Amino acid sequence: MNLNSWLQTTPARILLGPTPQRARHVLLVLATTQLYLVNLGIIWHSDHLGVLPAGIAWHLTWTGLLTLAVVFFLVRSGWSRRYADPVLTLPHALIAIALSFSAYVQVGEHRASVLILVAETIVMCMFRLRPTQMLVLGLTSVLMLLLSVIGLTWADPIRYPSSTGLMHFVIGGSTLLILSLVAKWVTDIRTRIGQQAKELSQALSTLQHMATQDTLTGLMNRRVMTDLAEAELKLVDRNGHPLTVALIDLDHFKQINDHHGHPAGDAVLSGFAAHALSQLRQVDKVARWGGEEFLVMMPQVQVSEALAGIERLRQSTESLRFAGYPRVRATFSAGMAQARPGETLEQLVDRADQALYEAKQAGRNRCCLAATADERPAPNTSPVHAHDLSAETGGAA
């Protein structure tokens, strides 16, 4: 069983929290338990040797366990989620280091071992803290060591002479300072890598968006619609499911651009796209096919029902208003065709294009249906009508 699976079990939820994210935060807190255990080992070993009174040993023990319990509760309960770092790494580390130096002052000849715990705390924190926080943690550790050395030298100059204090501070302080600087450097690298990974992810998301969606309307682009339509045509051949496509062309779109400007044309394109999505079924797919043309794919519906749906869209478009351009009105002509078994997408769209041409010839603002003969279509000899996909506002109607 891997970690993610174990986090979903009931015992893990009870101990670590209801969500995998909170469980990971709690696990990070529990990872510090070994530091407390080692610190307590040093304390009680000193008590066993008689260099530390039992009362002080118990005081340090309960203070350490209480600190760990409080941090565990704050993270496990979700209270710490209000902060940028829900694990409370910096305050927890500062308290832990303060407890370590409290033990350093009182454990006698074993105090040098405590500095190893302080160093280990700094190393563990460099994977959670920011560079400036690491520097604060390192400098605070050096300052605590200095205060501890001064206090010991002043309180017990016989057993802790100034020469010993100076040696501890020079060696221990320089070690902690260098370690904190190295940790800051590592944190800098980790932060930069994280930022670069985030930027790369955003760039990939943008590229994916540009590759699959039309920038102006937000609809899927021609390439994506082609893939979806070809997949639906395979279902037509395999299962006989009905499929109808409608090729829609906005009427007199060039006049909108000429009389009201290209921004108005953009507003019409994006406004019609949003309107079409709201009027059609959720299973229907709409794509900007090129310029002012749109292709609608309507699966699992007979051609009569599809025609009624496009007709409702046409009638509602007549009264559509476009933001910022209250005087602009738009209508469209549509050609529709139902897929035949064995028909390619090019052939299907070509029949819809021919029906669209008939709708325009008949006066525009209407829907025309391509012939639905049962016989297998003849091989297509004319190319599908293509438009410049790079145009953002379309060409002539």
Query: Residue 162: what pLDDT?
Result: 86
Query: Residue 19: what pLDDT?
Result: 83
Nearest to 152 by CA among 119, 104, 95: 104
Let me know whether 64 and 194 are in one domain. yes
CATH number at residue 324: 3.30.70.270
Decide if 386 is inside a domain.
no
Let me know whether 41 and 106 are in one domain. yes
Let me know whether 152 and 228 are in one domain. no
Instruction: Provide the whole-model pTM.
Output: 0.52
Let me know whether 161 and 101 are in one domain. yes
Decide if 214 is inside a domain.
no
Query: Residue 242: what pLDDT?
Result: 92
Let me know whether 35 and 114 are in one domain. yes
Which of 183, 208, 233 is the endpoint of a domain? 208
Decide if 26 is inside a domain.
no
Let me know whether 153 and 184 are in one domain. yes
Nearest to 262 by CA among 303, 300, 216: 216
Quote the domain boundaries for residue 244.
222-369
What's the token pair of residue 225?
């619609």
Decide if 353 is inside a domain.
yes
pLDDT truncated to tens, each residue of the chain (397 aa)?
Answer: 555 676 667 777 777 878 888 888 888 888 888 878 887 887 788 778 777 778 888 888 898 899 889 999 999 898 988 888 898 999 999 988 998 888 888 877 777 777 888 888 888 888 888 888 988 999 999 999 999 999 989 988 888 888 888 888 898 889 888 988 888 888 888 888 988 888 888 888 777 777 788 889 999 999 999 999 999 999 888 888 899 999 999 999 999 999 999 999 999 999 999 999 999 999 999 999 999 999 999 999 888 999 999 999 999 999 999 988 999 999 999 999 999 989 999 999 999 999 999 999 999 999 999 976 544 443 333 333 333 323 333 333 3
237, 339 contact by CB (below 8 A):
no
Query: Residue 384: what pLDDT?
Result: 35
Structural domains in the chain (count): 2
- Residue range 175-203, pLDDT digits in tens: 888 988 888 888 888 888 988 888 888 88
Q: What are phi and psi of 366, to 5 degrees?
A: -160, 165
Decide if 394 is inside a domain.
no
Which of 145, 174, 208 is the endpoint of a domain? 208
Let me know whether 168 and 247 are in one domain. no
Q: Which residue has the tokens 């405590």?
A: 114
Query: Residue 6: what pLDDT?
Result: 62
Nearest to 122 by CA among 178, 198, 191, 41: 178
Decide if 131 is inside a domain.
yes
Let me know whether 140 and 52 are in one domain. yes
Which of 168, 184, 208 is the endpoint of a domain? 208
Let me know whether 204 and 227 are in one domain. no
Decide if 244 is inside a domain.
yes
Decide if 283 is inside a domain.
yes
Q: What are phi and psi of 147, to 5 degrees?
A: -65, -40
Query: Residue 7: what pLDDT?
Result: 61
Let me know whether 183 and 243 are in one domain. no
Let me know whether 198 and 235 are in one domain. no
> What is the C-alpha R_g of the chain?
36
- Residue range 70-89, pLDDT digits in tens: 999 999 898 988 888 898 99
Let me know whether 243 and 353 are in one domain. yes
244, 339 contact by CB (below 8 A):
yes
Query: Residue 8: what pLDDT?
Result: 66
